[in-house]
Structure 1
Amino acid sequence: MVQRIIGLASGMDIDSMVKQLMTAERVPLDKMKQKKQILEWQRDDYRTLNSLLLDFQNNTLFNMKLSTQFRVRNVVSSNDNYVTASASGSASLSSTTIQNVSKLATAATKINSGSISGTSKIDITKSLETQNFAGGEIDWQVGSVKSQSITAKATNTAKIDLKGETLNLDPKYMNIEVNGKRYDVITSGASDLTDNNVLVDSEGNLTFKNNLTAGNVIKVDYTTTENITKQTVKKDATEMQLNLGSNSLVSIKIGSTVYKLSGNALIDENDDTNILGGIDNTGKITFSAPLEEDTTFEIHSTEKYAAFNIQTFTTNNQQQSKTFLFRGSDSLNNVINQVNNSKVGVTMFYDSFKDQVTMTRTETGDFNTDTSGPSNGSEIITDNSVFLKNILKFDENSQEIGGTNATFTINGLETQRNSNTFTINGVTYTLKQVFNVPDPNNSGGVLNPVNPVTLSISNDIDTVFNNIKSFVDKYNTLIDTINKKLTEERYRDYQPLTDDQREQLSDKQQEQWEEKAKSGLLKGDSILSSALTQMRTLLYQPIQNSSVSSKYSQLAQIGITTSPNFLDGGKLVIDEAKLKKALTDDPSSVEKMFTATGDSTSSQGLAQRLSKAVSTVMNQVKDKAGSATSTNKQFSIGKSLDNLATQILDFNNRLTQIENRYYSQFTAMEKAIQQANSQGTYVQQMFSSGR
């Protein structure tokens, strides 16, 4: 680094002089930076247009390839008080007649046999073990209720992590599901495995008949003989707090020593004189003596629990069931929510006024057609658990109503459906009332006598018209944006601002300057000009495809033409009457004009043609300006930017050398002046002394 001396001898402002000299030297650097800024703005303009092209392709053109855009059906019912309908694009243009509806579909409801409260009214928000039920006591089990989710591997086995606890193998206290499908539990007989059950052993091993799909979730609800947790307490502690919740403490194990509860004391089961301490009703243990070292306590506790099972049926008489585990600390409300949030397809409800419980299927229809079996055709099957049979009174005296299919006559054929809303051949019908059937309360009479209900299906011309209009609007917006960029004025006198220029302008002035500096960077661009020409050509060429009538093979034939106004830059305009007439006369040809596919451009519909053209343009723009994830080496503007960055770096190094040279020269001058001044002073002193 050159040592700098600032004008002490000459009295000159050396820094200011060097700065002025360097201003001239920096002119080429400023021009390089301006060129770099212009390239960056140009790159950003290209990318903005590519985003518009991508949106046009992925949304507008993608939609116009779909037949659903053109096959929009309108359904008119001759009597929508009784039957309504809607239709998908696959529905044929026809009419359907429903002569009568003799029965509406209903959901099965199971009503218990009576009040469930005992001598005092139950509170469904309080714990079940504190409630007084008319059916007596719940058959509480003692242990611990657990739930675990296991991620399946591509094998037929899995394992419950028991954490040292002992599994209760009774199947009625276990529920296993894989991705929502329930498996019945068996505890012996691997040869008896089927697609619908799972073998469970005392170690928690699960064995299925077939390999599971890796990543599937195995949900296991189960019980153990007790709950085991561990808690570490520091040396010298005199007490500890147990977090038992609703559990009851059974024992505490330290190493191999087991302390069991005797009254309020924890006593060594093998030595009555060895007392760990006392415990109060909050779970706080006060030790007999301070702990001599950090100690890990293994805490064994239990809780009350019970279980019940509900079974329903789905389409094709398929069974679905669920075992519900609940604790003594749970409320009836908790149990109801557990049922209602399950996939068994039942909604449980308690009415405090009647003090009764009901269960209603979440689906209408008659799914259990086996009227001769044990279920006797019941839609909701409850097990013989004490909780359901005795406590909630879903016993032999409970009643099931509903669970019927809709029965009706359509085009002369009597048929049934599980729901009052159903789909036949792309038409979704909704039955609202029974009609034209014998009146059960009037011998020889007819219930709701009306003319048969006719449902007429036609094209929804207005919606299809609007879909095509939306395409035209989006196309016009796109080419208008491109045209503006192609014709935008270029203000060459407004170059990007240098740092020095920015310091002299206000924020508003800088903004106004940059607006002009950014203008016209894509003016006359060959890629974009070619894209517009290509898209216009593709739109005007006739579609030569056997699925398209020659009468409607060009846009002009359906009323879509180029605007006669030159300033519109090739925008499309629609003759509404002509387009709607084409949609009425030959909707299929209009559809295929847009959606047809083919190997050659001439056989392709407009959507496929434009999509390919847009892809070509986007690739060309990407080669020129890259994308947000591109590196500079992957596109031409980026390469130019890298080249400029190298030039700027080299030129900055050169400027540093020039600046150092100027300072070296001025330093030499200062030294020379200082030396001359010293000599002058010496001569003057010589004359003054008279020598």
Structure 2
Amino acid sequence: MTTRISGLASGMDIDSMVKDLMKAQRIPLDKLTQKKQLLEWQRDDYRDMNKLLKDFDQLIFDGVGRQSTFLKKTVTSTNDSVVTATSNGSSGNISTTIEKITLATSRTWIGQPVLTGSNPMQADTKLSSLGTLPSDNKLKFKLTKPGTSDFVKDGTTDKIFEITIDPTTETIDSLTQKLSNSDLGVSAFYDSRTGQIVITNKETGAGSKITFADTNTQNLYENLGFTSNVNNELTSTNNNLGTDATFTLNGLSMSRSSNSFTISGVTYTLKSNTTSPVTISASTDSQGIFDSIIKFVDQYNTTIGKINDKVSEERYRKYDPLTDEQRKDLSDKEAELWDAKAKSGMLRGDTILSSGLNQLRSDMYASVNTGKADYDQLAKIGIQTSSSYLDKGKLTITDENKLKDAIAKDPEAVKKLFTNSGTTSETKGIAYRLRDSIDSIMGKVEAKAGNSSRGNNQFAIGKQLIDMDTRITNFNTRLTQVEDRYYRQFTAMEQAISRSNQQSVYLSQQFGGEQ
């Protein structure tokens, strides 16, 4: 770096003079920096538009783009305290009568009292005091679930449910906790007042069995008050085998292992025993479908509204991005107002978004081959384009009653209007068309402005930013060279002045000496 001498001989403020000279040299650099800032703002605005489109696409997918949205059912029960029901969407509009209900129960095993003398053992009694524990510290069981006849399989073999115990610390109480937390599917507790262990299957229904998979496990549970039969199944003298739920549905006697079961797309949940009839009705959830369509219309209007605002936003070309020096001279409020003007209009007249808006509007207006002329356009079910030019293609619900009537009369046709599958634009439902168009628009925007996962070399604006960074770096290098040249020139001047001053002093001394 050039040695810099700051006005010692001349008395001039060299640093200030160089700084002023460099201001003019920096003007092209400021222009490059401002252009880079404009590109970054444009990139960010493009990405904001893509986020807006992505949110709309997700709402379509979760709402009117799903056939299940139009299959929603409202299910009612004449006695919710006895039976409730829900529909998974595949059921028809039905009315069923369910009566003569007996709830399913779970199997329960209650052991005999575990005593010390005549007194129940304490909950913290060590298992080691009850006999020999498994040498590998594992209790092993096999399980038959309600409604089945074979053991639960682990692949093609019987599954062994294992519970690991610590023979030095395990107690009766901790054993019941481990049993409850295991995959065996039971809950257990020990009552220290009676000295009895109670084991209850978490599933209802008849036929469940727990079988001891080894002798040590069997012996331990026999010491805990239980018994086993010739098949090594866990038994007890107080044994509730569990029962299936029984009921009559529209006159047909039926049974299920669970109190919750599904028949023809309707899931019934039995809550109480009764002989009295309860009526379950399932009908089209017209209000739910209506709400989904309203949400879709609102989001569409919001989306195209924000995009329209962006492509028509005023561009204030006299307001360039502020340089660091310019920002220092403004208050925070002034800088904020300036930035708002400078950022405005980054996407004004953008062809990608403008043509994309036209395509979205076309997707909305074009008819869909639903097979029913009264349901082939949104306008025919009460949804039309706003008559106000200022709305720029927004939708409006012109007749809510007409829309509700259309849904109630033929929800299948409304479903096809939105979700009809097809290979041509005439056969595709509105939701599918819109999602295709949104995907196309987003792809074009990403090609120009990228996304958070793309590097700058993978999209057009990014490549411009790379070029801009290179030019800025090169220009900064050149400015350093120019600044060094100025200092070299001023240093040479200072050195010349210093030599001149020295000569003057010398001559003055010589002439003075002769006198």
TM-score normalised to the size of structure 2? Answer: 0.89
Map 1:203-282 to 2 at 5 A. none
Residues 1:471 and 2:296 aligned together: yes
Q: Give 1:584's aligned residue.
A: 408
Q: Give 1:55's aligned residue.
A: 55
Task: Give the CA deviation at 1:102.
Answer: 4.8
Q: Give 1:409's aligned residue.
A: 248
> Do the aligned partners of residues 420 and 33 (structure 1) sit closer, same or farther apart at CA in structure 2, a change above 3 Å counting?
same
Structure 2 Cα separation of the partners of residues 18 and 523 of structure 1: 41
Task: Give the CA deviation at 1:138.
Answer: 1.8
> Do the aligned partners of residues 90 and 486 (structure 1) sit closer, same or farther apart at CA in structure 2, a change above 3 Å counting?
same
**Aligned to 2:63, what secondary structure does the other structure show?**
helix
Residues 1:510 and 2:335 aligned together: yes
Structure 2 Cα separation of the partners of residues 116 and 570 of structure 1: 84
Residue 180 of structure 2 aligns to which amino acid in structure 1? Answer: N
Structure 2 Cα separation of the partners of residues 638 and 3 of structure 1: 40
Any conservation in 2 of the 1:366–1:418 contact (CA below 8 Å)? yes
For structure 1, the 5+ residue unaligned runs are 131-136, 146-220, 222-306, 369-378, 437-449
| Match of residue 392, structure 1, among 225, 233, 238 | 225
Q: Give 2:148's aligned residue.
A: 316
| Match of residue 175, structure 2, among 323, 331, 335 | 335
Residue 269 of structure 2 aligns to which amino acid in structure 1? Answer: T
Structure 2 Cα separation of the partners of residues 469 and 636 of structure 1: 38
Q: Give 1:459's aligned residue.
A: 284
Post-superposition CA distance 1:50-75 (Å, at most 9, x none)? 12222222343353221111111012
> Do the aligned partners of residues 686 and 329 (structure 1) sit closer, same or farther apart at CA in structure 2, a change above 3 Å counting?
closer
Residues 1:427 and 2:263 aligned together: no
**Aligned to 1:110, what secondary structure does the other structure show?**
strand
Task: Give the CA deviation at 1:45.
Answer: 1.3
Structure 1 Cα separation of the partners of residues 96 and 133 of structure 2: 59
Structure 2 Cα separation of the partners of residues 564 and 537 of structure 1: 16
Q: Give 1:663's aligned residue.
A: 487
Which deviates the most, 316-325 or 458-467?
A: 316-325
Task: Give the CA deviation at 1:381.
Answer: 5.0
| Match of residue 561, structure 1, among 354, 374, 384 | 384
Residue 390 of structure 2 aligns to which amino acid in structure 1? Answer: L
Task: Give the CA deviation at 1:422.
Answer: 0.7
Q: Give 2:155's aligned residue.
A: none
Any conservation in 2 of the 1:117–1:355 contact (CA below 8 Å)? no
Q: Give 1:484's aligned residue.
A: 309
Structure 1 Cα separation of the partners of residues 133 and 497 of structure 2: 110
Any conservation in 1 of the 2:103–2:246 contact (CA below 8 Å)? yes
Q: Give 2:44's aligned residue.
A: 44
> Do the aligned partners of residues 66 and 117 (structure 1) sit closer, same or farther apart at CA in structure 2, a change above 3 Å counting?
farther
Post-superposition CA distance 1:407-457 (Å, at most 9, x none)? 122222211111121100100112233444xxxxxxxxxxxxx4x433221
Q: Give 1:16's aligned residue.
A: 16
Any conservation in 2 of the 1:113–1:394 contact (CA below 8 Å)? no
For structure 2, the 5+ residue unaligned runs are 153-159, 229-234
Task: Give the CA deviation at 1:123.
Answer: 2.0
Structure 1 Cα separation of the partners of residues 467 and 449 of structure 2: 15
Q: Give 1:607's aligned residue.
A: 431
Residue 678 of structure 1 aligns to which amino acid in structure 2? Answer: Q
Residue 290 of structure 2 aligns to which amino acid in structure 1? Answer: F
Task: Give the CA deviation at 1:382.
Answer: 6.0
Any conservation in 2 of the 1:107–1:361 contact (CA below 8 Å)? yes
Structure 1 Cα separation of the partners of residues 512 and 299 of structure 2: 97
Task: Give the CA deviation at 1:42.
Answer: 1.0
Aligned residues: 497
Q: Give 2:501's aligned residue.
A: 677
Q: Give 2:441's aligned residue.
A: 617
Structure 1 Cα separation of the partners of residues 472 and 101 of structure 2: 88
Structure 1 Cα separation of the partners of residues 355 and 344 of structure 2: 21
Which deviates the most, 585-594 or 42-51?
A: 42-51
Any conservation in 2 of the 1:109–1:402 contact (CA below 8 Å)? yes
Residue 18 of structure 1 aligns to which amino acid in structure 2? Answer: V
**Aligned to 2:120, what secondary structure does the other structure show?**
coil
Post-superposition CA distance 1:534-578 (Å, at most 9, x none)? 1011101010244xx210111111111222333333222223212
Residues 1:539 and 2:364 aligned together: yes
Any conservation in 2 of the 1:531–1:617 contact (CA below 8 Å)? yes
Residue 317 of structure 1 aligns to which amino acid in structure 2? Answer: S
Q: Give 1:640's aligned residue.
A: 464
Task: Give the CA deviation at 1:669.
Answer: 2.5
**Aligned to 1:463, what secondary structure does the other structure show?**
helix
Q: CA RMSD in A?
A: 2.4
Any conservation in 2 of the 1:76–1:456 contact (CA below 8 Å)? yes
Q: Report the structure, 1 or 2, having the larger strand content.
A: 1
TM-score normalised to the size of structure 1? Answer: 0.68
Any conservation in 2 of the 1:107–1:404 contact (CA below 8 Å)? yes
Structure 2 Cα separation of the partners of residues 513 and 354 of structure 1: 83
**Aligned to 2:151, what secondary structure does the other structure show?**
strand
Any conservation in 2 of the 1:539–1:555 contact (CA below 8 Å)? yes
Residue 396 of structure 2 aligns to which amino acid in structure 1? Answer: V
> Do the aligned partners of residues 316 and 309 (structure 1) sit closer, same or farther apart at CA in structure 2, a change above 3 Å counting?
closer
> Do the aligned partners of residues 525 and 314 (structure 1) sit closer, same or farther apart at CA in structure 2, a change above 3 Å counting?
same
Which deviates the most, 27-36 or 679-688?
A: 679-688
